[in-house]
Amino acid sequence: MGRQVSRREFVKAGAAVSVAATAAPAVAAESPTVLVRKATPPVVIASANGHVFRNGGPRTCVEEAFARITAGEDVLDALIAGVNIVELDPTEMGVGYGGRPNADGVVQLDSCCMHGPRKRAGGVAALEGVRTPSLVAKAVMENTDHHLLVGGGAQAFARQMGFEIEDDLNTDSSRAEWLEWKRRIDPGHWLDPEKRSRAGAAAREAMVAEGRLDPESRLGTINCDGVGPGGEICGVTTTSGLAFKIPGRVGDSPILGAGLWLDGDVGVAGSTGRGEANLFNLCSYLIVEQMRQGRGPRDAALEALRRVKEDTVEQRLLTPGGEPAFGLTFYVIARSGEYAGVTMWGKENGREKQFAVCTENGPELLACESLLGDFPTA
């Protein structure tokens, strides 16, 4: 049987243990875990026209935006400065000044933007007379309690904000293309809706086949998204819309959840291509929600394209093989900086579908991942 310990000895022993524990190295004791969010590698991603047009300057859209972000500028301000280059370039005929007019020969522009850290958004649709609708969309975000202004109201707001309003945003080139299209469909005689729609679409496709209309820009649009070094997520989409569209037609570009959507804790997605197909599924919202559930940018975008494919059932919108007969592309960045460009068809009209990206390694055009391979040529 062991020796009994007196109360005095017990107290002394306890004090010694306490001192020893206090002097022990920190690793021996449990300490609360502190989660430190790592810095995000800055990245800017855009549709391919984001690394093609310079409007006579030294940088493309993604180069300009990335340079501004890394210099400490607000991410949304940097992205809009990038797309302004494209909007103002008269040789880019799917966006801004010199964009393709509607069926009446009037250039109507759409745009929206989102600011992740501030949880704010703004947009304009069917805006006439302002070369940079992305800046008007930002003004809506900053100066109103609304997300979307349209038509004459959007133009009146732009005028009140000090934007120059021009009578006509056509260039000689955009007007010449519209006149050729107009000549082909003979709009002086009203057809029944089905025949008129078919006539307009057939004229567009014939002009593409003859090289009179660039297939890449007949749907217009640039989407540009970015993540800053602190994980700040922003995005902007801007377009002149479908070439020779019905006046007042608004596609997906200025609509939150379709042409653009983001969550500051998850990521951002934007689009170009057939707006009506995107609107039916609110695909940009869907992609961000897929990423919230753990999917990467590539897989999230492919899931959205599968949904579009399943919901495309009208014969006029299908290839002979039963696949969607149109293009739709998504540009996606996760908050981690992981990104992807994902498209319905990897090659259309003999051209590989690409997207633009700029990182610390510089700007480049990369091939998009496709859901369906190359568009059938016969």
**Residue 377 among the catalytic residues:** no
3-class DSSP state of 35: coil
> How deeply is 362 buried, as exposed, middle or buried, from its count of CB atoms within 10 A (0-12, 13-18, 19+)?
exposed
Greater confidence (350 vs 160) lies with 160
Position 11 in a domain? no
Position 59 in a domain? yes
- The percentage of the chain sitting over the pLDDT mark of 90, rounded to a whole number, equals 76
Pick the catalytic residue from 221, 237, 272, 343: 221
Position 4 in a domain? no
Query: pLDDT, tens digit, for every residue of 127-150?
Result: 999 999 999 999 999 999 999 999
List the CATH number of the domain containing 160.
Answer: 3.60.20.30
Position 102 in a domain? yes
Position 223 in a domain? yes
Query: For the chain, how many structural domains are there in total?
Result: 1
pLDDT score recorded for residue 205: 73
Query: pLDDT, tens digit, for every residue of 260-307?
Result: 999 999 999 999 999 999 999 999 999 999 999 999 999 999 999 999
> Could you tell me the residue range of the domain that residue 338 belongs to?
43-370
Position 345 in a domain? yes
Position 88 in a domain? yes
Between CA 91 and CA 128 the distance in angstroms is: 19
Query: pLDDT, tens digit, for every residue of 236-245?
Result: 999 999 999 9
- Closest to 47 measured CA to CA, from 204, 239, 229: 239
Position of tokens 């800053």? 228
pLDDT score recorded for residue 8: 44
Between CA 41 and CA 69 the distance in angstroms is: 11
pLDDT score recorded for residue 186: 63
pLDDT score recorded for residue 184: 83
pLDDT score recorded for residue 80: 98
Q: What is the mean pLDDT of residues 352-356?
A: 97
pLDDT score recorded for residue 97: 98
Query: pLDDT, tens digit, for every residue of 71-129?
Result: 999 999 999 999 999 999 999 999 999 999 999 999 999 999 999 999 999 999 999 99
Q: Kindly tell me if the per-residue pLDDT of 23 is higher than 90.
A: no
Q: How far is CA 258 from CA 98, 139, 276, 330, in A?
A: 24, 20, 10, 10
pTM, two decimal places: 0.84
Q: Kindly tell me if the per-residue pLDDT of 18 is higher than 80.
A: no
DSSP letters for 174-188 = HHHHHHHHHHHH-TT
pLDDT score recorded for residue 16: 43
Position 29 in a domain? no
Query: pLDDT, tens digit, for every residue of 170-209?
Result: 999 999 999 888 888 765 544 555 666 667 677 767 766 6
Q: What is the mean pLDDT of residues 65-70?
A: 98
Between CA 52 and CA 101 the distance in angstroms is: 22
> How deeply is 320 buried, as exposed, middle or buried, from its count of CB atoms within 10 A (0-12, 13-18, 19+)?
exposed
Q: Kindly tell me if the per-residue pLDDT of 22 is higher than 60.
A: no
User: What is the bridge-based pairing of β-strands 354-359 and 362-367?
Assistant: antiparallel
